[in-house]
Amino acid sequence: MAASPSAQTEVWALVLDYVRAHVKPQQFETWFQSLRLERLGSDGVVIVTPNTFYKRWMDNHYRDLLERACSEVLEGDANVVFTVGVSAGEPEQGVERSFDETGQEGDRSAGVLPHASADLPSATTPRLLPLSNETSIPGTLQLNPQYTFPQFVVGPSNRLAHAACLAVVENPAQVYNPLFLHGDVGLGKTHLLQAVSFGSLDKNPAIRIVYLSCEAFVNEYISALQGGELELFRNRYRNVDLLLIDDIHFLASKKALQEEFFHTFNALHTAQKQIILSSDASPHEIPDLEARLVSRFKWGLVAEVEPPQYETKAAIIRRKAKIRGKKLADEVVDYLATTLDSNIRELEGAVLKIIVMAGLQNQDIDVQLCKVGLKELTPRPGQVSITEIMSHVANHFHLKISDLQGKKRSKSIVLPRQICMYLGRSLTPCSLEELGGHFGGRDHTTVLYSEGRIRELMKRDPEMRTLLERFARELKRA
C-alpha cells in the first residue's frame, strides 16, 4: 500500500472529508485536526496522535469511523494504527518527563503516572478539549492538553499539593476527600486540577468526571433555576465519580448557592465519590462562607500551593522554554529567576516573550536581550498595563474583572472582553498569546478575531469609535 507523498496527502484530505461529514464540527476540530497521516504501509494506515491520551481516545472512539473512511477512500479494507508522535507542523521535541526543582528526573515510584510521561502536548492540540459529547460524562469537560502531570514542575512550594493530587488519581475517594488546594493566582492550581482529570481518565476511561469553574457552576445553577430544571442540574452533579470545582471562593457571600453546593457535596461524599476544590484562600478565609461548608472543606486534606522559590522558578523557566524547543543558558535562567516575580503565569509570559523577541530579531537569547524584553513587560510611566485596561473597562460596563477573564459568553460580557483585547493590542506590548492568557487562557486566534471585530465595529459605529478613543485617552492619562 506504499504511496508517494502527494498521493498520501490526497488520501488524507479525502479521509478527513469523509470524517468531517460524519461527526459534529466541534468533534472534528477537537479530535481530527491534530492528527497526521504517517504512512500508508503494509502494516496499515498509520496515523500520528499528539499524545497517549489522544491515542487511547481515538482507539476507543474513532477507530471504526477512520477505518470506514480509509476503506472508502482506498477502495478496500483498511486497518488503522494509531501512534504517538509529533503532530503536523510541530518541531521535533524530546519526550517531556517530570523533573524536580534541581532538574533531576522525578522518581516514578513516588507516583508519577508511568504511562502519562510520554504525553507531549503540542501547539496544534486544541487548547480546550471537550470530552463529553460521546461519553456518559455529564456537562462539558474542557481541559487544556498542556495541564498534565508530566508538565508540572514539582518543588517545595507545591510538593504536598502535587503528591495529594497523584494520590487521589491512584485512590479516588480513599485518601483525601475532599482535597482542597489553595494559593495565590498563577501558582498552578488549575493545572493540577486538570492534571487529575487527565490522570483519572487515563487510568479509567469510563470514569465520570465533571471539571468546571465555580463560576460556571453558579451560572448553570441560575439557568437551571430559571428554566425549572433544578432536578436535572442536581442529577448532573450528584451522579459523578469525580467532581472538580475550580475557584470555589466564588461561592463567597452567595447564600443560596452555598446551600445548593452543600447538598451536592454531601451527596457525593456519602456516595464515596471524590471531590477536589481549588480556591484563592483557605476555607476559613473565604468571606461569608457558611461554617458547615468551612468545616466540610477541611474534612480531607487542605494543601497550600505557595509561590515557588528560586530553584523551582529556574526549573519552570527551563521547562517552559523547552516546551517551545529552546534550551536557555544557565546565566539567562538565573537572570530570569532572580528578576521575575513568583507568579508562574507571568514567568511563562516572560519566557515566551523573550523567545519570540529572539526569533524576530534573529538573535541568541542572552541576558542583554532579557533585560530589554523584561523592561517592556513592566509598564513604564505613561504606559498602560493590561490590568489597568481590564479594570477600566470592567468599571465602565459594571462588570467584575473575573467576568472578563472567565468563560461566560453572554453578550454583555463578550463585547467588553473584546474591547479589552483590542485595547491590549493597541496600548500594550503584550503578544497575542500573552493577551489570550490574561483572558482565561484564550487562544491567540480569539485575540486576533476580537481585535478585528472591534475595528469593524469602530468603522461602522461612530459611538463605538468615540467610546474607544475615550478609553485610550483615559488609560494613557491614568
DSSP sequence for 199-213: HHHHH-TT--EEEEE
Shortest Cβ 109–ligand ADP spacing (Å): 20
* Binds 186: which of ligand ADP, Mg ion, none (CB < 5-8 Å by kind): ligand ADP
Closer to ligand ADP by Cβ: residue 27 or 213: 213
The span from the CA of 323 to the CA of 63, in Å, is 29
Query: Bridge partners of 80?
Result: 45
Binding ligand ADP (rule: CB under 6 A), the pick from 214, 344, 352, 454 is 344
Q: What angle do CA 395, 400, 404 make, to 5 degrees?
A: 100
What would the x/- binding string for ligand ADP be over residues 188 to 207, using CB under 6 A? Answer: xxxx----------------
Shortest Cβ 406–ligand ADP spacing (Å): 13
Contact 216, 407 (CB under 8 A): yes
How far is C-alpha 348 from the chain's CA centre? 13
Q: Are strands 80-84 and 44-49 parallel, antiparallel or unpaired?
A: parallel
| 165: contact with ligand ADP by CB under 6 A | no
CA atoms within 13 A on the CB side of 248: 32
Residues within window 318-337 making contact with ligand ADP, judged by CB under 6 A: 319
Rounded to a whole number of angstroms, the distance between the first and last alpha carbons of the chain is 67
Q: Could you tell me which stretch among 21-29, 131-139, 183-191, 430-438 binds Mg ion (CB under 5 A)? A: 183-191
Shortest Cβ 211–Mg ion spacing (Å): 12
237 CB-near residues (< 8 Å, 6+ apart): 138, 210, 217, 243, 264, 268
Shortest Cβ 242–ligand ADP spacing (Å): 18
Query: Which residue reads 511563562 in cell numbers?
Result: 348
Q: Could you tell me which stretch among 137-145, 190-198, 330-338, 434-442 binds Mg ion (CB under 5 A)? A: 190-198
Q: Is 323 helix (H, G, I), strand (E, B) or coil?
A: helix
* Binds 80: which of Mg ion, ligand ADP, none (CB < 5-8 Å by kind): none
Binding Mg ion (rule: CB under 5 A), the pick from 51, 190, 312, 418 is 190
Shortest Cβ 190–Mg ion spacing (Å): 3
Residues within window 311-350 making contact with Mg ion, judged by CB under 5 A: none
How far is C-alpha 407 from the chain's CA centre? 12
* Residues engaged in binding ligand ADP (CB under 6 A): 147, 151-153, 158, 183, 185-191, 316, 319, 344-345, 348
Question: Where do contacts with Mg ion occur on this chain (CB under 5 A)?
Answer: 189-190
